[in-house]
Structure 1
Amino acid sequence: MSFLRLKKLWFIPIVALLFTAFQYADEDFGRRITEQLQKFRAVYPQEKAYLHLDKPYYTLGDTLWFKGYLVDGALHQSDSASQVLYVDLIEQRTGKNVAQRRVRLDGGVGYGDITLAAPLPYGAYTIRAYTNWMRNFSEDYFFEKDIYIFDNEIHPEPVSNEVLDVQFFPEGGQLLSGISSRLAFKAVNGNGLGADVNGFIFDQNKDTIVSFKSEHLGLGRIQFTPEKGKKYTAYVRKKGGQLQQFELPQVSDNGYALLVDNSSSPSAMRILVYNNAPDGKERNVHVVGHSRGIVAFVAKGKVSSKSLRLNLNKKDLPEGITHLTLFDDQNRPVCERLVFIDHNSRLQVKVNMDKKSYKPREKTEMEIMVTDTSGNPVEANLSVAVTDAGQIAQQPFSNDLVSYLLLTSDLKGFVEQPSYYFDQTKTERKLHMDYLMMTQGWSRFTWQDVMRDSLPAPKRYVEQGITLAGQVKRNNRAVSEKVMLSIFLYSDSVSTMLAQETNEMGFFEIHNMIFTDSLSARLQGMNKKGNQNLSFLINLFEPPKTTIVKVPFYPVTVEAEQLKAYLKRAEEYQEIVRKVRANREKLLNEVTIKGKKEVERDTRKLYSNADATIKVTQQMASSAFSVLDMLAGRVAGVQVTGQGMNASVSIRGNQGEPQFVLDGMPVEKDLVTSLNVNDIESIDVLKGASAAIYGSRGGNGVIAIYTKRGNVNYDYSQEVVPGVLVTSIAGYNTPRVFYMPRYDVTRQEDARPDFRSTVFWAPMLRTGKDGKVKVSYFGSDAVAPMDVRANVLSSDGRVGAVRYEYSVQ
């Protein structure tokens, strides 16, 4: 699988040296650094995924709408090679993956939805996005976003641990005795969020060295000169809290320091290098700067006890994070520092409305215009969400496409309110950004990995479609020769026959299949001797394991009255949906049957008639992983969430799961989901009074499964023969269309109240050559401000985002 589209060269001119004791790096070292980084990017090109969600929190029964963006990690161009994006919804309390979507990407973009139906529990969830290629690297590279799913009640926020955690980060990596040093710090509370603190530093003699306080979300910086042989302790407290003690990093008597001034001048950045070696000799050093793995400059100089200074023109550095590394005279990395270069060259996104304010249910027309910094129109892909601000509190300075690609995707750990650092109305944002650069670490690679002579091949491949892979075995042992396979792929709309040969160990792979929902596959194998006594082991997709994190406990901020209004409107909507479903079921139950063929009663059944019966066919079984998959969407009032072994089911909105019965005997759900779907003959569903024969166990309904083997009339001649396997392959999920009412015509369903929290969702918009795109939709019954959020990506990697508000009166 080729990555040619990712291997684009990005040449940045060597920065101008304004005034410096540095010189251009010696040719050998500069060439080696550049070549190693290029080789590393060629073997391990990075991808970045981002999800734009319609809102930050939801209720049970709601729908989560998302737009997926995938770009290459260096240039942020949207032609990344992968064309399958995996989206997981993970319950934070248990780490359980409760829903997964396979999204087909076209030009680096795709969209989808997740229905948040019962029996999902309320609470904190994480939605994440990644590709198969991204699984070669740490899960730190996955996109992750915390959301909250409410039920119809307001529950108290979990009580957080009040213990304060403060970490101190010497600039460049270490404190040097006798060198004026800057010490950044980050203070967080029990929820993992920034805490405003103040304090002071003592030496071992209890002498006060310096006092300090945080400036933004627990971030701050201290400057002092540590002395040789001394130890330092910080005493810190939150407002109204108790003093807590934290030891500062140990002071080094021998080493290097790398200090950067990126705030004093808007056009230049100054780098200072110190060395306090006991012999006082000059030593050769190199400073290397790279942006997302692409070399920006390499410079060399000699440093002794006096500082060595390098001034750089910021205009020659790319926008985003530049990673600075100091290499000593042995070409070992000894100091690192991150800086953020902000040219404000992002796409300009403007929202124009046809009116200043609107009436409820009035048609709304919106124009979005995208230009570059010179005002030239830009063709770009964008997604737009409009939410009722009376119900939905957008989170303060939450991540958008700009802050994610340029900032948080290249940093370790959680970054609070990332969009704050791009808000030009915040006068201190650049200084606070520098604090962030000193306290968050670079996450993409280490120099130790880059400088290796040989790089191991990645284990996972680039997916440009759905893959069927597995192994042929004989008597549960690996075969010792190649096996010819005939593979018949079929669904309701397609059928095709393939011939495939395994390798000597029996492994086979079919790549780049494009289909939605699911595809049935019939595999038959035969070795050269005509022996069909073979079995198949199919490699089912296993999502990456999840590490359960305890913070943040409550990942949304919303006022009580606003939340109350949202839950009230959501409950009203769910009640309308329940009534509509009940009316549909009532109509079905009132159908008059004029004639009925008498059939012999199945002795396994305690009841006379079921409310619904599914006769399992071979085609139905081949497209399902478990019994519950065959129920999904086939019986009114039965809701199935998830897939396969992780599926959950409820009848008529009951909170609990129904009683499961197998061939007349009550059993646990785990036994039912482990059954071979090809052994199932039929499934009965009992609701309400029909389930009363099972007593209290049937209070949530009954699902009765009957197997072919349990039937006295079962024909054993129909057993699956050796060497043949019928299975199902999960394909791309088919995204639903966001429902938008039309109030310019009279319809019966429009008489009900309309208090949608998401008023408008358009994930796949594109501006024309004039840089404009127009949309129209009808508002809801809400009299409240409407919040507009849009993310924009051009094909050449330029990004933009906008937040806008208009009123409905």
Structure 2
Amino acid sequence: MNQLKLLTTLLLICLQFGESQAQTPTIPDVEKIYLHTDRDQYAVGEDLWYKAYTTYAYTNALFDHSRVLYVELISPASEVVVRNVTHMQLGLGHGDMALLDTLGIEAGTYQLRAYTNWSRNFGQDYFFTKEIDIVDVREEVEVATNTTDNFLYDMELFPEGGSLVAGVASQVAFKATYANGKPCKVSGIVKTLEGEQVAEITTLHAGMGSFVLTPEAGKVYIAQVTDQHGNQQEWKLPEALPTGYTMSVMQHKGKHIVSIKTNAETLAANPGQLMAMSCTSRGITYVEGQQPLSTINHSFILPSSDLPEGIAFLTLRDADGRPHAERLIYVAKEHDVSLVVRTDQQTYATREKVQLNVELKTNGGTPAVGSFSLSVTDANIPGTVDVHEMNIASYFFLQSEIKGSVYNPGSYFDPENEQRLQQMDLLLLTQGWRDFLWKKLPTLPELPAYDLERDLQISGRLKRLIGNSPIPDTKINMLLTNKGKSLTIDETTDENGRFVFDDVMFKGNATLLLTNQDKYNRAKGHLSIDSMYAPSPKPQYRLIDQNYGSTEVEGFQEAVMKKHIEFQVPLEANTMLLEDLVVRGSKFNEEVNDGNESIYGTPDFAFEVTDKERRFSNIFIFLQFVVPGLTTTGKSVSFARGKPLILLDGAQVDMEVLATLLPTDIDRVETISNSAGGAVFGSQAANGVLALYTREGYTGDQSIARHSVSTQLRGYYDARVFYAPKYDTIAQTTEPDIRNTIYWNPYIQPDTTGQVTVSYYNSDVAAPVNVVLEGITNTGVPLVSRVQYEVNAVEGQ
């Protein structure tokens, strides 16, 4: 459902800019995806836990649109090493990944990527991505040579609005970074080519700052700066235009004052030039108007009360629609809802029970509704939750809307950071000047290349053996068996021989049997199925900032190793933590069975073929020898009641196909003589079933007629439950408990009173503990709440 009705009415400004009618655009259903993970750094053998949120891009409200979410782990070599298919319900889902070396997980910086099939219509810029570091504690981390050791840095200069104009005072922002993307602190001057100083340069935040310059026509200006290591470099500023317009924005008491400036030469050449101003947020125009300019300085207050929170895009155009200046601003809003998490104590003992009280209420004290995820981690471990790292607020309001990596994005949403809005403005003056994801409203083709996936789908085609023409109006019977339960559905092929079973819901592995039946109850043609999932898009992952080998990663490894040494836990990747020593119900990402498995339950007879039986000269002599009650006549086999239904690796084949097999091809033989076992195949199995399973590596004749399909399918990822010991209900284990993630809960949902209580037990590690709760309200407000407490060692331990 298009949620245009949730958007505010387009606002027309009537101030000194004349009123102009805005056209309501067609708004596509664009999804924003966010993953909250328990940490950002892991050791090989640990588990990564995530909570997935899908929202409507224009309001950030939870969006029940796509229900199939692909979550992938991409290696430093840009290869997908793990892929989870996560089931989304009402915009929420969760899952986990076991970072096992047996799955090919090695040390390095990886990318976590999440997307829906629908989001692929808008390009990979609309995918969620996040970098995580994985360390092998059994190996020494080789700290990469820091590029700052060579003092190589770059500085970019960005005139506010886009261009410098001769004689017009303009703010020029700058951003200085080292080759590894980290910010560089610089200071210096701006001078003319003749050496006259006209401005000073000082870094204000994360390598960024600004200065004011009134350029003269024809003059060249040089920025001469020195970094904190004393390395001096020079950069040439953009040349000032002889005529043109600039646009500047100043924040004052929560208001945005917009100034449009020009020079006398421009006014003389374009008297009464009609200029149009628009303000766009996430591709939607909320404010627009036009006004003839007759003075060199024209200012007004931007009416931002009806603008949504987040980045907005100001554009100044002339009467012909040509853009003259652009500026990004951040519209901050006071939220009428707060999220608070509190501990019942300030300090605890090791293995002591912790009780968290969560409260979600409006400023007036009314209970609010939302869904949140909780991560509790050892604060002494680098890469646990940092107030400056990505969080759900920084992602929805900043990182999802601006291209490129943002350094310490969480700092712009930290309420303790009193300078955060000024620092945000610097970021938008620099990084936002270069590119902006939502410059235009995303467009959806009339025929989308990628379908909306509301649930899993099993589809395929039935075609004739000769000519491959479709077979229409034929019944397709589906039997899906999953976790001891069976689902039976019938569909009919269309004029193209196609069939589709929609809205199939199952988790983990399932057995699928498809058979076809015409009006005479006969099976015919060649039955095939499509892949349930679209192939993974080629990763665009390229490590610009290679984290692995940094001092931060080295610190993570040292902290983990210190715990292992202190508690005498072996440094084995797959048995390093208490949670991995406990036998759990399912193994992550278990490989799908190759199909050599009975789909009808327990057979009457089963025979595992050895090399002794494979010495027979042909398949018929072989079968008569190994299968009791089976007789052969020439190139035909039968039971007492008549010719059986023949299955080859689960697919129905003819007697002629049986004759092409060799005893050396066969791995196992099964038979069914009772009607109950063969009932899934209908009347075709009235005389019994002869099932043969081939050896690994068998390719066979690809032109074999397959009237049925039997295979193993993997449905939604069957997410595990986070294991945390309960020391008051189980025997006091002597095994050391050195969990890095102490507790994880993907579903923290306050009740009708706006409150919920959660409890868990500390580990054996005496250290500070970080508690982070983040999520989103039903009105689309992303919230983060943090608290920290101390764990002290128990005397005598």
Shorter chain as denominator, the TM-score bin is 0.7 to 0.9
Q: Does 1:341 align with 2:331?
A: yes
What are the within-5 Å matches in structure 2 for residues 612-761 of structure 1? 708=694, 721-747=705-731, 750-761=733-744
**Structure 1 residues 345 and 11, CA, compared in 2 at 3 Å: closer, same or farther?**
same
What amino acid does structure 2 have at the position aligned with 1:369? E
Q: Does 1:436 align with 2:392?
A: no
For 1:274 and 1:708, the matched residues in 2 are separated by 79
**Structure 1 residues 372 and 419, CA, compared in 2 at 3 Å: closer, same or farther?**
farther
Q: Deviations over 1:448-482 (max 9, x none)?
A: x67x9x96443222211112345666689874785
- 8 Å contact kept, 1:22–1:308: no
For 1:81 and 1:294, the matched residues in 2 are separated by 20
Q: Does 1:273 align with 2:297?
A: no
* 2:136 aligned residue: 151
* 2:626 aligned residue: none
| Range with bigger deviation, 472-481 or 510-519 | 472-481
* 1:360 aligned residue: 350
Offset at 1:186? Answer: 1.7
Q: Secondary structure at the match of 2:161?
A: helix
- 8 Å contact kept, 2:491–2:499: no
**Structure 1 residues 531 and 390, CA, compared in 2 at 3 Å: closer, same or farther?**
closer
Q: Does 1:768 align with 2:751?
A: yes
**Structure 1 residues 374 and 220, CA, compared in 2 at 3 Å: closer, same or farther?**
farther
Q: Deviations over 1:652-679 (max 9, x none)?
A: xxxxxxxxxxx9x9xxxxxxxxxxxx98
For 1:53 and 1:284, the matched residues in 2 are separated by 51
What amino acid does structure 1 have at the position aligned with 2:487? S
For 1:242 and 1:186, the matched residues in 2 are separated by 16
For 2:208 and 2:89, the matched residues in 1 are separated by 41
From 755, 763, 770, the equivalent of 1:780 is 763
- 8 Å contact kept, 2:44–2:100: yes
What amino acid does structure 2 have at the position aligned with 1:274? K
* 1:123 aligned residue: 108
Q: Secondary structure at the match of 2:85?
A: strand
What are the within-5 Å matches in structure 2 for residues 129-144 of structure 1? 129-144=114-129
For 1:205 and 1:285, the matched residues in 2 are separated by 37
What amino acid does structure 2 have at the position aligned with 1:566? V
Q: Does 1:388 align with 2:381?
A: no
What are the within-5 Å matches in structure 2 for residues 528-677 of structure 1? 532-534=524-526, 536=528, 538-539=530-531, 540-554=533-547, 558=552, 563-569=557-563, 572=569, 575=572, 578=575, 602=611
Offset at 1:101? Answer: 0.9
Provide the aligned C-alpha RMSD in A.
3.9
Offset at 1:206? Answer: 4.8
Offset at 1:565? Answer: 2.9
Q: Secondary structure at the match of 1:541?
A: coil
- 8 Å contact kept, 1:280–1:305: no
* 1:257 aligned residue: 246
TM-score, structure 2 normalization: 0.77
Q: Does 1:216 align with 2:201?
A: no
What amino acid does structure 1 have at the position aligned with 2:718? T
For 1:250 and 1:478, the matched residues in 2 are separated by 67
Q: Secondary structure at the match of 1:176?
A: coil
- 8 Å contact kept, 1:83–1:104: yes
Offset at 1:259? Answer: 1.3
Q: Secondary structure at the match of 1:498?
A: strand
From 141, 151, 166, the equivalent of 2:155 is 166
**Structure 1 residues 337 and 535, CA, compared in 2 at 3 Å: closer, same or farther?**
same
For 2:581 and 2:129, the matched residues in 1 are separated by 38
* 1:10 aligned residue: 7
| Range with bigger deviation, 779-788 or 154-163 | 154-163
TM-score, structure 1 normalization: 0.76
Q: Does 1:791 align with 2:774?
A: yes
**Structure 1 residues 364 and 245, CA, compared in 2 at 3 Å: closer, same or farther?**
same
Structure 1 vs Structure 2: percent identity of aligned residues? 28
* 2:83 aligned residue: 100
Q: Deviations over 1:490-543 (max 9, x none)?
A: 123223133143454x66544322111134434456999999444636245211
Offset at 1:346? Answer: 6.3
Q: Does 1:62 align with 2:46?
A: yes
Q: Secondary structure at the match of 1:325?
A: strand
What amino acid does structure 2 have at the position aligned with 1:397? H
| Range with bigger deviation, 112-121 or 165-174 | 165-174
Q: Does 1:414 align with 2:405?
A: yes
Q: Does 1:53 align with 2:32?
A: no
Q: Deviations over 1:330-384 (max 9, x none)?
A: 1344432111122231642222222221111111111011123344321221111
Q: Secondary structure at the match of 1:251?
A: coil
Q: Does 1:328 align with 2:318?
A: yes
From 485, 489, 497, the equivalent of 2:489 is 497
What amino acid does structure 2 have at the position aligned with 1:258? M
- Aligned residue pairs, count: 684
For 2:56 and 2:771, the matched residues in 1 are separated by 28
Q: Secondary structure at the match of 1:440?
A: helix
For 2:507 and 2:582, the matched residues in 1 are separated by 32
Q: Does 1:803 align with 2:786?
A: yes
- 8 Å contact kept, 2:112–2:132: yes
Q: Secondary structure at the match of 1:781?
A: coil
For 2:468 and 2:5, the matched residues in 1 are separated by 42
What amino acid does structure 2 have at the position aligned with 1:496? T
* 2:601 aligned residue: none
For 2:184 and 2:468, the matched residues in 1 are separated by 58
* 1:229 aligned residue: 218
For 2:728 and 2:97, the matched residues in 1 are separated by 30
**Structure 1 residues 756 and 476, CA, compared in 2 at 3 Å: closer, same or farther?**
farther
* 1:287 aligned residue: 277
Offset at 1:122? Answer: 0.6
* 2:621 aligned residue: none
From 48, 52, 55, the equivalent of 1:71 is 55
**Structure 1 residues 474 and 285, CA, compared in 2 at 3 Å: closer, same or farther?**
farther
Q: Deviations over 1:254-307 (max 9, x none)?
A: 433221112xx1132111123453614121122111322343322221124512
What amino acid does structure 1 have at the position aligned with 2:11? I
* 2:795 aligned residue: none
What amino acid does structure 1 have at the position aligned with 2:413? F
Q: Secondary structure at the match of 1:494?
A: strand
From 502, 507, 518, the equivalent of 1:511 is 502
- 8 Å contact kept, 2:100–2:573: no
**Structure 1 residues 232 and 576, CA, compared in 2 at 3 Å: closer, same or farther?**
closer
Larger Rg: 2
What amino acid does structure 2 have at the position aligned with 1:553? Q
For 1:233 and 1:341, the matched residues in 2 are separated by 33
Structure 1: 5+ residue stretches without partners: 585-596, 606-617, 624-662, 666-677, 683-705
**Structure 1 residues 599 and 466, CA, compared in 2 at 3 Å: closer, same or farther?**
closer
Q: Deviations over 1:548-602 (max 9, x none)?
A: 3222211787486664231344682765975999999xxxxxxxxxxxx999853
| Range with bigger deviation, 432-441 or 775-784 | 432-441
What amino acid does structure 2 have at the position aligned with 1:567? M
For 1:466 and 1:360, the matched residues in 2 are separated by 45
| Range with bigger deviation, 516-525 or 44-53 | 516-525
Q: Secondary structure at the match of 1:410?
A: coil
- 8 Å contact kept, 2:30–2:57: yes
For 2:403 and 2:182, the matched residues in 1 are separated by 15
